[in-house]
Structure 1
C-alpha cells in the first residue's frame, strides 16, 4: 500500500494539477500529505498494536485505505484531497509498521532476517512498477481512476489478510513490558545500545538510497542528457538490481561458505561494506566525469546490498530491542522516514550537479559501516553479569 499510494499517482500529477491545483506546484502537497500520514501512522499504530493486537489494526488500516482511496477519486477540491491523502498515508502505514511487528512475533534471527529482506526488496521493486501501473490507467481512463484502482487493490489485500493472516500477538503478551521469547528460538539478549545501532544502520542506508533517488532526475537528465524515458529505465534497472539482491539474500542467509556461515550480523557487516565500496565508486565516477554507464554501474554496486542490509539490520533490531515489537517497528519506520526526508534538502543545499549525491551517499555509507562494525563487536563481546 505505501509504495503504490506514493508512486502510482506520479504520472497523473500534471493532469491533477490542471484540474484541482490552485497555484503552480500545489498538487505536490498531496505527496507531502501522504508521507506525513505514513510517519504519523507508524508512530501511532505500532505501540497501539502492542496493546490491541496486530490483526484488528491491520484490517482497520486496510479498510481506511480503501475508503480514503475511493474518496480521493471524487475529491472536489485540493483541500479535500490533501486531507484524504493524510488519511490514506496513515492507513497505508499499517502495512509497514504491523508487517514488521508480525514478523517479529513469529520469527527471529535468520528466519526473521530472510523475511525482512523480502519485505525490503518488495519495497524497492514496487515503486519501480507503480508508475507503469498509473501510466497504464491513464492510457484508458482519467487520472482519478488511479485511486479507484488503488481502492480495488487494497480490497484484495484486505481479503487476503482476512483469510490468511492470523493474530500473532496473544492476549497474555499484550500490555506494558516486552514479553519474554520462548527459549531456543534464536532470540538474543535485549540491548538498547545495539538496538540504536541497528536502527541507525537501517536509517543511514535509507538516507544513502534517497540521496540517489532525490538527485537522480537532475543527474541523469540535466548532467548526462537522458530523456525522461531514459531516466525512468535507468531507475527501474537499479530498482530491480536492489530487488533481485534482496530476494537472493533469502537464499544466502544461513549458508555455510569458506568465510563461515552467513548470519544476519555478518550480512549486515558485508552489506555495509558493499555499500561503502559502491559509494566510493560513485564518488570516483563523479570526480572523473565518467560516462553515464560507469555511473550506473557504480550506483548498482552501492544500492544492491540495501534490501538485505536493511532486512537483516531490522530483524536484529527487533530481536535486541528492549521495547515491544509494535513500538520497535514504529521507531525503525519513523527514523527511516526522518532520514529519508532529510536527503532531498541536504542534496539540494550542496549544489546542482552529481557531487552532492556522491557526498551524501559516501557520508551515510561511512557512518553505516562504522555502526555495523561497532554492533558486530558488541555482539561478539560477552554479556556482563550486571546487564543480565
Structure 2
C-alpha cells in the first residue's frame, strides 16, 4: 500500500513510494479546515514547547566566564555543559518519540516538561562543574519532549499544505529562540547573576506545563497508538531509514540546519575578532539575520496553495546555496564589510525559512500517524547530530578558531550536499513510484 504526501497530483507523484505501511483511512488526520482560534492556540502552545529546548542551549552562553569563576572550573569544562544538553536533546528525542506513539502525546509531554522545570531550578544551585554537566544532560533529555512531540502532534492533526502552513506559523514563534538566546542572556546579566537565566527557563517551562494541561488535547486516540518492543521499534526505524520519502527530506533538513548552525556558532567570533565588531554590533547583525529567517517562513506561508511543497523547498535550497557561494567569494576576494556580510547572511537565512518547514512537512507527512513520534524523533536526532557535527568543522583550522574562510567553506559544503541529497531523493522517489 502506498502512503503519499498530501498535495497536488504532481507533487504526490514526485514523492510517493511504498515503504512504510500506511495508516488505515480511519486513522488519517481530519482534512477539514480547523477554526482559527484552535490553530492560534495550538501555535502558542506548541511554539512555547518547541522554543524551550533550543533556548536552553544558548541562553547562558554569555555567562560562561562568570559560571566558570563561580564553580572554580575551566571554561572548557563549562563548555561540556553545552555538549551535554545537545546529546541529551538528541537521545531524548529518540526515546520520547516512540513513547508518545505507544502512550499518547500528553503523558510523555507533561512528564518531560515537569522534569525540565525541576532540573532548571536545580541548575541554579549547583556547586560543581560535574554536577552541572549531569543536570544539563538530564535537562536536554527532558527538553526533547517539547520538540519531538510537538512535531508528532502536527502530524496527527494536519496533512500536506495544511501541515506546511502550520509549520511556517510555528517557526515564526520558535525560530527566534535559538537566534535571540545569547542576546537575551546578555541582557539578563545586566540585571542579575547567571542563575537568572535558569530561573527564566524554569518559568517558561512551568508556563508550557500549564498550557499543555489546559489547552492541548490528546491528538493520538487509543485506537491509533502503537505499543512496540525493542525488536518492533528497531524494525520501524529500519523501515524509516530505508524510505527515501522520509530519509531524503530528513537528511536535507539536517544538512541545511548544519549550514545555518555553522553561522550561529562561528559568526560571533568571526565578526568580533576578524572584523572588529563590538558585542552590540554582533547583536544587531544577529537580530537582522533572524528577521531573514522569519521573512522566509512567512513567504513560504504565502506560497502555499500556489507553489508545490517540493518546489518551495528547492527554491529555498537554491537561495541558500547561492548566498553562501557569494559568501565564500567575498572571503576569497576580501574587501567585504559588516554590512555586506549581513546582507548575504540575511538572504541565506531567508532561504532556510523556506527549507525548514517544507522539509519537515515532506518527512513527517510521508509516514502514517502511528509512527509519527518515531519519525519525529529521527528527524530531530539527525538534525542535532548532523548540525552539531557540521558546525564543529569550522574550527578545524591551524589556529583552532573559525574564520570567515573556514565558516564559508563548511556552509557551502553543507548547502551543496543538501541540494544534491534532495535531488537524488526526488529522482529515486519518482523511479520507485513509476515502478509501483
Tell me the TM-score normalized by structure 1: 0.88
Aligned residues: 368
| Pair 128,353 (structure 1): closer, same or farther in 2 beyond 3 Å | closer
- 1:348-383 per-position Cα deviation (integer Å, ceiling 9, x unaligned): 114553122111111112122223333444555572
1:265–1:312: 8 Å Cα contact kept in structure 2?
yes
Mapped pair 1:343 → 2:394: no
**Where in structure 2 are there 5+ consecutive unaligned residues?**
1-51, 229-240
| Pair 50,145 (structure 1): closer, same or farther in 2 beyond 3 Å | same
Tell me the distance in 2 between the aligned counterparts of 1:381 and 1:218. 46
Tell me the distance in 2 between the aligned counterparts of 1:147 and 1:59. 19
- 1:287-307 per-position Cα deviation (integer Å, ceiling 9, x unaligned): 221223222211222221213
1:120–1:308: 8 Å Cα contact kept in structure 2?
no
> Which of 62, 66, 89 pairs up with 2:113?
62
Mapped pair 1:241 → 2:292: yes
Mapped pair 1:277 → 2:322: yes
- 1:200-232 per-position Cα deviation (integer Å, ceiling 9, x unaligned): 110110111122222212321122111122122
> Which of 333, 345, 355 pairs up with 1:288?
333
Question: 1:128 Cα shift?
Answer: 3.0
Computed over aligned residues only, the root mean square deviation of the Cα atoms, in angstroms, reads 2.2
Partner of 1:354: 404
1:62–1:155: 8 Å Cα contact kept in structure 2?
yes
Tell me the distance in 2 between the aligned counterparts of 1:209 and 1:301. 12
| Pair 211,8 (structure 1): closer, same or farther in 2 beyond 3 Å | closer
Tell me the distance in 1 between the aligned counterparts of 2:267 and 2:363. 30
Tell me the distance in 2 between the aligned counterparts of 1:132 and 1:354. 22
Partner of 1:29: 80
Deviates further, 58-67 or 317-326: 317-326
Mapping of residues 3-152 of structure 1, within 5 Å: 3-152=54-203
Tell me the distance in 2 between the aligned counterparts of 1:143 and 1:334. 29
Deviates further, 295-304 or 91-100: 295-304
Deviates further, 242-251 or 64-73: 242-251
Partner of 2:381: 334
- 1:292-323 per-position Cα deviation (integer Å, ceiling 9, x unaligned): 32222112222212132111111111122478
Tell me the distance in 1 between the aligned counterparts of 2:346 and 2:314. 18
2:55–2:177: 8 Å Cα contact kept in structure 1?
yes
Tell me the distance in 1 between the aligned counterparts of 2:320 and 2:189. 37
| Pair 329,5 (structure 1): closer, same or farther in 2 beyond 3 Å | same
Tell me the distance in 2 between the aligned counterparts of 1:357 and 1:133. 24
Tell me the distance in 2 between the aligned counterparts of 1:135 and 1:347. 24
Tell me the distance in 2 between the aligned counterparts of 1:233 and 1:264. 32
Partner of 2:416: 366
Deviates further, 41-50 or 236-245: 236-245
**Where in structure 1 are there 5+ consecutive unaligned residues?**
178-189, 256-261
Tell me the TM-score normalized by structure 2: 0.79
1:272–1:372: 8 Å Cα contact kept in structure 2?
no
